[in-house]
A = this chain, B = another copy of it.
Amino acid sequence: MKNLFYLFLAVVVISCNMTLESGDGSIVISEDGIEQRTSEYAIVIHGGAGTIKKENMTPELEQQYNEKLTEAVKAGHIILKNGGDAMDAVEASIRIMEDSPLFNSGKGAVFTHDGINSLDASFMDGKTLNAGAVAGVTTVKNPISLARKVMTDSDHVLLSGAGGDAFAKVLQDPNIEIVPNSYFYTENRYQSLQRVLKREAEKTAQNDKKVAQLELEDPFIKDSKYGTVGCVALDKNGNIAAGTSTGGMTNKKYGRIGDSPIIGSGTYANNATCGVSSTGHGEYFIRAQVAYDISALMEYKNLSLEQATEEVIQKKLVNLGGTGGIVALDHLGNVSMEFNTAGMYRATMNDKDELIVGMYKE
């Protein structure tokens, strides 16, 4: 019943453009002219954007998403409430989504063309502008934790392929659990790949291109490009952290890397401006520099978080032909959940324990 209540709340509260400002929705200026936070701390998560429509959803599945999004956002929120670090909150929330087969990350990741699961993740600390990321790892249960370790325990930002797995092994950290690739198998995602491969073979047979036509959209679930999880948090000390984790595209080939492990495209955090985690058709998010561009618009053009996210997701990205969305929050605790697809799995909580969970546009 509690979960159904949250779902009801989500449908009622969230307006069309999906931007929420916590508290009374405006920046408070104190008597001495200093901007005050609308929320002392805040967290926002997404579980992917795409053609998420109520008519395609069963009540049971709706409830499962609702419960898991609530569990994930609360896991980070309690850390922030207790005065913990934004980075710990981001990692905790994302790990819960990675461990759930509902999302295209960790357990539940989509399959590559070669029938394996290959995972990407990135992590950024808005205080130091330090960052870490992995692309194409296949044996790490929680890639978000490995991305954080790349940031703290290596001189590098981005490790790839078997190298990422080797680094994970060397760490010998109980938090970085090594699993066989078969751990990531889910029947659902495997059948998705089979449908896509079938359609690809049909298309390629009709095609005389030298490079085989890559079929990337699952004709059944229609959102094989979009499932990704992410989180942004602001802690009581004013530190912002952001992270993103994904299995990429169903049927991805040729070692394709999307935007999720790319700092500035999939993930960005800067205490001076905002934190952002992206989800969508990654190639467009790279070309449009989505995550950093939101920060740049705030820093250089003095746009609000709401204005900056709307400009990038509804205008610049649309002009390029890109679909997807972001979750973001600024240094004042304002939250944005902006997307140009039919839906985006998302949730947010503020310092008043207010929880919002959403899936659809309206």
Contacts and interface: CB of A to CB of B under 8 A. Distances in A.
Interface in A119-139: 129-131, 135-136
Nearest to A302: B300
B287 A296 contact: no
B254 A163 contact: yes
Given A159-B255, A286-B131, A211 B300 contact: no
Nearest to A168: B254
Q: How many copies does the complex hold?
A: 2
Contacts of A264: 262, 264-265, 286, 289, 292
Interface residues of A toward B: which range? 35 or more
B156 A256 contact: yes
A288 interface: yes
Query: Which of A210, A212, A286 has the largest number of chain B CB atoms within 10 A?
Result: A286
A172 interface: yes
Interface in A151-183: 153-164, 166-167, 170-172
A164 B254 CA distance: 6
A295 to B, nearest CB: 9
A283 B263 CA distance: 10
A342 interface: no
6 contacts: A129-B320, A130-B287, A167-B254, A263-B287, A296-B300, A297-B300
Interface of A: 129-131, 135-136, 153-164, 166-167, 170-172, 210-212, 214, 216, 253-258, 262-265, 282-283, 286-289, 292-293, 296-297, 300-301, 320
